[in-house]
Amino acid sequence: MITSRRILLAGLAGLAVAPTAAATAVPTPAPDGTTVAEERFARMIAAAHAPDLTCAQQAEIYADAHWPDYIVAARAVLDARA
């Protein structure tokens, strides 16, 4: 239940920050072989695991810095759905 709330909050945070973050954020390049879907899902998982979810901008910054750490989890979920 807590994980579902985190994912929901991360998605809502992304919607709230998207217009301003798109102009200021410089995304890191995707590692070799990573698809766009994997990268986006990994960023969402990373944002959901940010230490402080009260600030959407901090969750976005955390996701930009740590999304490569969540690629394995994103691939596992996407492969399970296929």
For helices 71-81 and 36-48, give the axis angle rounded to 10 degrees.
120
18-70 residue pLDDT tens? 444 444 455 555 666 788 888 888 888 888 888 876 778 888 888 888 888 88
- pLDDT for 20: 47
**Full-prediction pTM beyond 0.95?**
no
Q: Under a CB-based contact definition with an 8 Å cutoff, are residues 74 and 42 in contact?
A: yes
